Amino acid sequence: MRLLIKLTIILIITLTTQPLSVLASEKDAVSVIIEVEGDPEKRKEYLQTYFPYVEVVATYDKLFNGLALKSSPRNLTEMGSLDFVKAVHPVRTYKALSAKSKETAVTPYNLNNTTYTGKGVKVAIIDTGIDYNHPDLDVNYVDGYDLVDLDDDPMETLLDQGIPTLHGTHVAGIIGADGEEFQGVAPDAELYAYRALGPGGSGTSIQVIAAMEQAIRDDVDIINLSLGNSVNGPDFPTSVAVNRAVKLGVAVVIANGNAGPADWTVGSPATASKALSVGASTYPEKTPYLYESFLDKSIPLISMAGAPEWDFSRDYQIVSSNEDKLYGKIALIERGNKIPFYEKAKVAEEKGAEAVIIYNNEKGNFNGSVVNQQNPIKIPVAAVSKKTGQWLLKNLEEKSFYMDTKYKEVPSTIASFSSRGPVTVSWDIKPDVVAPGANILSTVPNGYASLQGTSMAAPHVAGALALLKQAHPDWTVGQLTNALKTTAQPLTSANGMLLDPTLQGMGLIRPQAAIQTDTILHEPLLSFGKIEQGNEQKTVDLTIENTTSQEQDYHFIIPDQEKGLRWLLPQEVTVKPHSKQTVQVKLDVTSNWIEEGIHQGYLTLNSGSNSFKLPYLFLNKSGEYQKAMGLEFLLKPFSDDTFVYRMYLTEELEHVAVDLYNPHTLIHEKTLFEIEEPVVGMNEGFLDEKEVEVSGQYKVLITLTLKDGTYDSYLTELEIKK
């Protein structure tokens, strides 16, 4: 049984305008985004005239045609009959993607091997805000807006406003810091900051879309989104906004997510088809691990943000954190949902612990943070998997248990936390490219810090695009982004084999090569989709652009023969000077002759001394991806007695059943709902309050009946509020 990642929906937001006496109280208020026909401004005027108790939080007319509304379900009831309302979307939660820190760090300007500085290029940072008073940022900071508090001050969240933030300032420094001793990738870029994520680095789709719209109005050239959620699939309306922004001529760079190393972990909005999605690469480094010689057991450690580097030269006893005194010992703690990592680690530190290991309470690895600028953790804190934690528990209970710290040399590769593709439903290859994202030094409020995550990789790419935009101001967004893809350097494993496309896309960006390229391959990541029949032929168009004043010839290297696969590649292609030519790349697949699942690799296209590696991917029949995700169950907008359920399905199914279980006894309570004719994409239905009957917190079992008659199931949690 696999775990279905729970998608949290925030229904109460902090956006306010002048209060109206008939507005709902904050505890009763809900927020929705409505998609409307016609002019949103006129629809806003209509609502303000005839429904004064409904607060219009935001108006979208650039990237999404609609309004964000706030009121109580009862106050909104009358709006259900309005003929101009096309659709109602829930308000989703977006977070600044978690990062972790180490002592050793890499400076972003290392990536800039060009003579360009991004001068005159406008870069929007949609994030937690920015410390525009930082001496390395104040020169390049131009303007901004706060979409959380609705004012012109996009400062990071301060301590007296809630959980303080630093994420946006770190991202901004990577892009365009310009200090005497520290510089970003594009130190002369013009920085525009939009605070869409509030205290603790959390915000909603209302704020993210509003920030993107404001950036478009401010005529920016590039938007950086180092944020996301955990749903691998189309995420409307945010992905609609991303794609429309690109069509309007703005490059949108998005962090791929920090849920690696498994496949299918890319999260929206990096799943948007037009997004330039970015994974994280590492520089060569020494990484610590624990070792027990008698059992020949090695345990990799994932360092947490805000803690010192794990650096020990002797062995230490590992004990439970429940002991009263932990002097000279490493404390082992289970991850929980109620107590923050910082508090767990601080208690252990105060008991005298030398270090802390926090093990997962569910399957797999995780990244965490113990950042606290006022009273920082002074001992190393690391994360391990649930399986590793249980192994440690078993051994420390049997005897005094000691482990050594050892180190291994790790060459430049894909960071373990970097989310992998492909995208469900569209089967697109993501990330598109990778950039440095491990141990990156940058600005934070009142100083500097080294953090890591795809949040740090994305702004390297945004900065690189600023360099290209300065070098080629007449290039389109397609030329700029595809030049970066075309010239990226694919990374290899220790034995010299190319890493899979789902890890790296086209590879590590190279700004100088992109600026000087004589060829641009448009949409060079070749996704052939899903093979569902016994024999299928798939075709992908590839456009080759010759940027030189000389005619250029191109030819494919025919891949080695594989059973079940036959490539139909064009013969030599000649492209005239400053011209484009589109060719068809065809693949015949006999699905019964090859294994089910992801098939991926690279095609080689040569031109003179240049050789381009084109990632390709197709899915044969099915794969190990979640077939159901993003379960929502809440009161229907504009109603106080009808519930709406939503669930995103990634393939054709016969039947879906959702059952509730008591979280303590695991006794079956009831079947909440069934979907008799499920469709690929978002499935929605309604239940009367009398049909629901129950309320509270539940374990939820989602059972799927597949087309072939087999079953799949996922476990999640759900809170039902009446």
Q: What is the largest CA-CA distance in the chain?
A: 77
DSSP state of 695: -
- Among this protein's residues, is 555 annotated catalytic? no
Whether residue 431 is preceded by a cis peptide bond, meaning omega within 30 degrees of 0, is: yes
Give the length of the chain.
Answer: 722
Query: SS3 letters for 84-124?
Result: CEEEEEECEEEEECCCECCCCCECHHHHCCCCCCCCCCEEE
For the CA atoms of 542, 546, 552, 556, what is the dihedral angle to 10 degrees?
A: -20
- Among this protein's residues, is 472 annotated catalytic? no
Give the active site residue among 303, 419, 455, 527: 455
Q: In 608-712, where does DSSP find H-type helix?
A: 689-692
Residues in Cβ contact with 436 at an 8 Å cutoff, skipping those fewer than 6 apart? 106, 108, 110, 111, 280, 281, 282, 283, 456, 457, 460
Amino acid making up residue 110: N
Give the active site residue among 127, 131, 263, 428: 127
Q: Are 694 and 721 in contact (CB under 8 A)?
A: no
Tokens of 339: 């107590």
Q: Are 649 and 681 in contact (CB under 8 A)?
A: yes
Beta strand 579-590 with 565-568 is: antiparallel
* Residue tagged 């005159």 (tokens): 120
Q: In 631-717, where does DSSP find H-type helix?
A: 689-692
Cα gap 159→164, rounded to integer Å: 5
Tell me how far CA of residue 528 lies from CA of 407, 587, 615, in angstroms: 41, 8, 11
Q: Are 543 and 582 in contact (CB under 8 A)?
A: yes
Helix (H) or strand (E) holding 561: none
Give the active site residue among 167, 170, 522, 599: 167
> Could you tell me which residues are beta bridge partners of residue 305?
369
Nearest in space to 656 (alpha carbons), one of 629, 676, 630: 676
Give the SS3 label for residue 286. strand
Helix (H) or strand (E) holding 224: strand 222-225
What are the backbone dihedrals phi and psi of residue 463, each rounded to the nearest 5 degrees, phi first?
Answer: -65, -40
Straight-line distance from the first to the last Cα atom of the chain, in angstroms, rounded to the nearest whole number: 30
Beta strand 597-607 with 66-71 is: unpaired
- Among this protein's residues, is 474 annotated catalytic? no
Mind telling me the catalytic residues?
A: 127, 167, 455
